Amino acid sequence: MEQKGRAELLLEGLKTRIKDAPSQTMHQENAVLDREELLRLVDNIAEVVKNDLIEWIRKFFRENGPDCNAIVGISGGKDSSTVAALCVEALGRDKVIGVLMPNHVQKDINAAQKLVEHLGIENHTINIRDSFNGIISQMELNGMEVSEQTIINLPPRIRMAALYAVSQSNHGRVANTCNLSEDWVGYATRYGDGAGDFSPLSKLTVAEVKEIGRSLNLPDELVDKVPIDGLSNKTDEDNLGFSYDVLDRYIRTGEIEDKKIKEKIDYLHELNKFKLELMPHFEF
């Protein structure tokens, strides 16, 4: 774990240095490396971590269902694309089932379709609109005022219920597709997209997930796709109030320039840590 953590830190540190490099050469560990050498080093680290992830997924399935299928909810973004591609590499495309779950109309569903076509995996589309409307209408019929948070968090919880329904009907194990950056600030729904049976990316930042995606030869338009919340059409970064580049650098190096953003990240981290913990229970 310690060795892998160092690799992740080096990957993020090198990417930050490459991005900010004012010239063609820079110093790293008292050695002078040019930009191309640094890029090759980043690629090499991504390749190593990718292979470790593939072996980890194989080990999980050997120990938790040797004949099971990997069930992956497909949004068409970097995370679900990378997880699906890792599962294909680890298990073979015939052992991976992708599930597309629009809520009525999903404007960017073509990205999800492109991903399943690119990987050549079995896939199914389950529209969650009727389920969503059914719950909301029943709440209203019972005199409840439906909160904005309910509107936001109900769809991912329905999607996770759908994934487990598909999983239990197809001898599967459900993949969690959250990454470390989102988990760090609570940008996931508990018992929604925060659930699953195995989680390949939960210790990788957004920047690192993108590098793994590239090492898997995923199309750039999927790796670099800007995530939209689906309600306000705002990006994740618009909603958070800071960029993933800033967040990733802070997570990996502790470095951040804007004091107010640091305070906001720290606040969100403390506020949402419960999402990653088991529920409190009475000790008997």
Domain boundaries, the chain: 50-276
pLDDT of 229: 72
> What pLDDT, in 10s, does the model give residues 137-170?
999 999 999 999 999 999 999 999 999 999 999 9
Q: pLDDT-based confidence at 33, cuts 50/70/90? A: low
Task: Tell me which residue of 72, 79, 101, 19 sits closest to 227, measured CA to CA.
Answer: 79
Please provide the average confidence, as pLDDT, over all residues in the chain: 88
What's CA 45's distance to the chain center, in Å?
Answer: 19
pLDDT of 24: 43
Residue 133 token pair = 């409307």
> What pLDDT, in 10s, does the model give residues 95-105?
999 999 999 98
Predicted TM-score (pTM) of the model is 0.86
Superfamily of domain 50-276: HUPs (3.40.50.620)
Q: Rounded distance, CA 75 to CA 83, Å?
A: 11
Q: When comparing pLDDT for 15 and 184, which is higher? A: 184
Q: pLDDT-based confidence at 58, cuts 50/70/90? A: very high
- Arithmetic mean of pLDDT, 254-269: 96
Q: Rounded distance, CA 12 to CA 130, Å?
A: 42
113 in helix, strand or coil? helix
